[in-house]
Amino acid sequence: MPDDVLLTGGWRLWPQFALRGPGFPADGVLRLAPEGLAPAADKVPDALSGPEWDEFARCFEAAAVRTAGTLQEIAGRPDFRAAVGWQNRAVLGSGIAPFLSWVPTATGRTSMPRQREELVAHYWQRFCVKNDTIGFFGPVGWGRFDPARRGVAVDPGDRLVAESEVYLSSWAVDALARQIGADPGLRRWLPPLRVPFARVADGRVSLPGRPVQAVAPHLRRILELCDGTRQPGEIAEAVDRPLPEVLRALQTMVEQRWIVWRLDVPSGTHPDRELRALLERIPDPAVRQPGLAKLAVLERGRERLRSSVAEPDALVAALAGLEASFVELTRVAAQREKGARTAPCRAVAYSDSRRAATVRAGTAVLDALAPLGMCLTAARWLTNRIAEAAEARIGAAYRELRDQRSTVDLATLWMRCQPTPYPGAAADADRIQTELRRRWERIVDAPPGARRVRLSAAGIADAVRDAFDEPARGWNLARYVSPDVFVVADDPEAVRRGDCTIVLGELHVATNTLDQSLFVSQHPAARELLDETDRDFPGPRVLPMLPKETPQLRWSARNRPALDRPRDHLVAVVGHSADPRRPRTVLGADVLVEERDGRLVLVLPDGAVFGLLDVFGYALTNQVINRFALRSAGDHSPRVTVDRMVVARESWRFAAEALDFATEKVEARRYVRARRWRDAHDLPRFVFVVSPAEPRPFYVDFDSPVYVNILAKAARRLHRSDPAARLTVTEMLPTPEQTWLTDHRGAGYGCELRLVAVDQTTGESA
């Protein structure tokens, strides 16, 4: 048993954590800040005219040409082009190739070459300083807490990436399954499955919102046998009816929406393996082999990708070949359009990797983490309030149904609560988040205009307890919080000594993010993660069966939960995405909702009882996952430090029109005006910017003209789309110069530690 890492407020940290960091050294972005240009810009006369200005303008032009050359060096790197190829293969031809063939000159830097400079710079900041987790350019690393040491020890390994794997996207395998399933000869071998919301009781079938229908005894028996594991022939044998009669009955049940009868691939990290298993169960080789042959085409394409993960030319050829084969097989586009209705995995295949470097963090990090317990306690208060609101709203819906019928099943209640978890959930979450901020503001008690607020944990402990401390009473997932933290020091040696501070990044509430498939699949011993889950939940849990993709939640096979265990119950409420052969897999219509001792509970067919909110867990988590924030709601929020932990970085909010330099047409003037705007607001050199008009936060270095240009363009775009919207600017902490995670060559990388905290103040759901 590893030494427990305990925090105040009844929280335990998992002894291991994930390292989320880029696959390119952090100092790569510093190459785009021309040496000496920023000090020169700060010395030019206010009028931006005259001989001194003319001299600076010439220096700026020369620096811009040199920077264009640097960007060409970056764009020409095989690993950079391979990384872009995985993200958007078309960009290599439309943007990168013409940029590489261009000869940079001051007069040649017209609009299109500058756009391509910004394209390369934008990808470069993502690959160097964004802690994304994808591919070899964002490999998953692992570390452990080690109370036997003081500082942080890094074992860099013998290469950057220990292992890489290529996966076929779930949506692509589903498209192939639909094409294979269109073969009329296949249907007699496909096991039908009752839909999760069709309830069979007392000789009748009921669906939410439709009249109850009586059903003949032999048809009821056929329907009861539609469990997704029995082929039509097996059902016919069990009910002692001719197969053609059973096939006709099944078709009628499809039309009644009582069953689904198609080639459905269970959700999982390897959907191609699931499809292969389904096809191999078909005994007729004349039906089985054509489907397997089509699947083998994609499998071979995936193997070609696996051998060319970081080789751009081979990668492009392999991607093109796989996509062409996919289109030929399915008649479906190989790239899904990006938009609100598209989940993250847009391509036919993707890659994930494991970082070779590993980390051990000692007592200096653990000591600095101590104030985290206060933040976790506030997060528990947040989930408790959401749980109370949900119990009241869902309870009202339950009582309405109970007044209309003798029993209430989960599927019917779920449908009544649409959109889940219930109407008005977002407004409740807004109200509760506002109260959370208000309570924290009283505790922090920052003087007006303060830039830095330093507090002691001992000094605010009583106030935190009074404001937030109470036992947990939320859903099962609410026992987890996943904080992102940064270890900050002046140099790697300081980190090794333990001379460091901690910065709290995002606090992901009511979720264990290491449960996601992308982390579990990249762990060298995934059983260890399951062992930690067993410590947290020694008994079974009830978990809702999730759809394969939910675009609004950015949900896909990469971040699906992967630490469910055979002892856990999976409940299908709307769609059935798990393997029907899995033990303890039940349909929502077969689960009863009852009120016992003033509490709504689920009663499963085997008699197991769980809290009702557990099955609404993922929908509830979606309402709170990103709700924890210590920033004030105003235009400025100070940096707040408790002991040796920065719990809130300094941030600012600006209307797009306030960035007056953004509309400046002359690039050199824009750069100078941007620096003066920065000085007027006393912003740091390095920041991250969030714009409602941009898909992701982006890095800005005010010493770098190309990143100033990217910021200006984002401001113009936001002003066009919504003049009332605001940009959020947050200090970058740590900066690209403060790296301690090294590779085998000694290069430094940015990273964050993705922790898992589990609440010890409550037991399992009963």
Do residues 441 and 390 both lie within one domain? yes
State residue 336's pLDDT score: 78
Q: Are residues 79 and 221 in the same domain?
A: no
Query: What is the spatial distance between Cα 471 and Cα 205, in angstroms, rounded to a whole number?
Result: 42
- Whether residue 762 is predicted with pLDDT greater than 90 in this model: the reply is no
Residue 749 lies in a domain: no
The pair of structure tokens assigned to 538 is: 């020694």
Q: Within a domain: residue 486?
A: no
Closest among 29, 37, 74 to 55, alpha carbons compared? 37
Type and span of the H or E element at 714: helix 705-721
Q: What element of type H or E holds 52? A: helix 51-76
Long-range residue pairs from 271-275, CB within 8 A, at least 24 positions apart, any chain: 271/168, 271/169, 271/170, 271/173, 271/174, 271/557, 272/168, 272/173, 272/298, 272/299, 272/302, 274/173, 274/579, 275/173, 275/176, 275/177
What pLDDT, on the 0 to 100 scale, is given for residue 344?
Answer: 61
Q: Please indicate, yes or no, if residue 367 is contained in any of the structural domains.
A: no
User: What pLDDT score does 492 carry?
Assistant: 82
At residue 170, the pLDDT reads 93
Identify the band that residue 765 occupies on the pLDDT scale cut at 50, 70 and 90.
Answer: very low
| The token pair that represents 726 in the structure block | 């605001």
Taken as a whole, the chain contains a residue count of 766
> What is the average pLDDT across 22-49?
96
CA distance 117 to 609: 60
Annotate 445-500 with three-state secondary structure: CCCCCCCEEEECHHHHHHHHHHHHCCCCCCCHHHHEEEEEEEEECCCHHHHHHCCC
**In this model, does residue 764 exceed pLDDT 50?**
no
Give the pLDDT score at 256: 94
Q: Read off the pLDDT of each residue in 20-33 and give the average, rounded to a whole number.
A: 98
Mean pLDDT of 714-722: 96
Q: Using pLDDT thresholds of 50, 70 and 90, give the confidence band for residue 402.
A: very high
- Cα(736)–Cα(738) distance, rounded to whole angstroms? 6
The pLDDT of residue 691 is above 80: yes
Domain membership flag for residue 382 = yes
What is residue 193's three-state secondary structure?
strand
What pLDDT score was predicted for residue 130?
95
What residues have CB less than 8 Å from 435, skipping those under 6 apart?
A: 385
Instruction: Specify if 312 maps to a domain.
Output: yes
Task: Place 534 in a pLDDT band, splitting at 50, 70 and 90.
Answer: very high
Give the pLDDT of residue 546.
Answer: 85
% of the chain with per-residue pLDDT over 70: 98
Report the pLDDT averaged over residues 200-210. Answer: 90
Locate 121 and state its tokens. Answer: 């710079």
84 is a domain residue: yes
Residues forming beta bridges with residue 360, ordered by sequence position: 144, 153
3: pLDDT confidence band, cut at 50, 70 and 90? confident
User: For the residues of 72-130, what is the DSSP string, one character each?
Assistant: HHHHH-HHHHHHHHHHHHHHIIIIIHHHHH----TTT--HHHHHHHHHHHHHHHHHHH-
Helix ranges (H only) for 334-424 are: 363-368, 372-402, 410-416
Q: Which tens digit of pLDDT belongs to each residue from 111-166?
A: 999 999 999 999 999 999 999 999 999 999 999 999 999 999 999 999 999 999 99
d(CA 487, CA 493): 13
Q: 140-157 burial string, b = 16+ CB within 10 Å, else e? A: bbbbebbeebbbbebebe
Instruction: Tell whether 295 and 427 lie within a shared domain.
Output: no
Burial class (CB in 10 A: 0-12, 13-18, 19+), 636: middle
Helix, coil or strand: residue 442: helix
In the predicted structure, residue 743 carries a pLDDT above the cut 60? yes
The b/e string for 436-448 (b: 16+ C-beta within 10 A; e otherwise) is: bbebbbebbebee
Owning domain of residue 257: 167-350
Same domain, 625 and 658: no
- 32 & 93 share domain: yes
Residues 620 and 723 in one domain: no
pLDDT at residue 180 greater than cutoff 70? yes
Helix axes of 78-91 and 312-330: crossing angle, nearest 10 degrees:
30
pLDDT of residue 551: 64
Q: Are residues 554 and 622 in the same domain?
A: yes
Average pLDDT over residues 590-602: 96
Give CA–CA dist 138/128, Å, rounded.
9
Q: How much is the average pLDDT of 215-228?
A: 94
Nearest CA among 533, 557, 558, 499 for reference residue 134? 558
Which two three-digit tokens encode residue 148? 């036997």
What's the pLDDT at 1? Answer: 45
Task: Tell me: do 406 and 441 sit in the same domain.
Answer: yes
Question: 209 and 67 in one domain?
Answer: no
251 and 399 together in one domain:
no
Arithmetic mean of pLDDT over the chain = 94
**Backbone Cα Rg of the chain:** 29
Residues 441-466: tens digit of each pLDDT = 999 999 999 999 999 999 999 999 99
Say yes or no: 426 and 568 in one domain. yes
**Number of Cβ within a 10 Å radius of residue 722:** 13
Q: Prior bond to 421 cis, omega within 30?
A: yes
Phi-psi region of 203 (alpha: psi -120 to 50; beta: other; left: phi over 0): left
Under DSSP, is residue 601 helix (H, G, I), strand (E, B) or coil? strand
CB count within 10 Å of CB 406 equals 7
Domains identified in the chain, total number: 3
Query: Are residues 330 and 381 located together in one domain of the fold?
Result: no
Confidence of residue 343 (pLDDT cuts 50, 70, 90): low
Cα–Cα distances in angstroms (integers) from residue 81 to residues 95, 297, 646, in the given order: 11, 26, 37
* Domain final residue pick, 318, 350, 382: 350
Helix (H) or strand (E) holding 570: strand 569-572
CA dihedral 288, 294, 296, 299 (to 10 degrees): -130
**Sign of the dihedral defined by the CA atoms of residues 148, 151, 157, 161, in that order:** positive
Residue 549 binned pLDDT confidence (cut-offs 50, 70, 90): confident
Task: Name the band, by pLDDT with cuts 50, 70 and 90, for residue 342.
Answer: low
**Domain boundary pick from 595, 629, 663:** 629
DSSP H/E element including 531? helix 527-536
Express each pLDDT in 603-624 by its tens digit.
999 999 999 999 999 999 999 9
Is residue 611 left, alpha or beta, with left meaning phi > 0 and alpha meaning psi from -120 to 50? beta
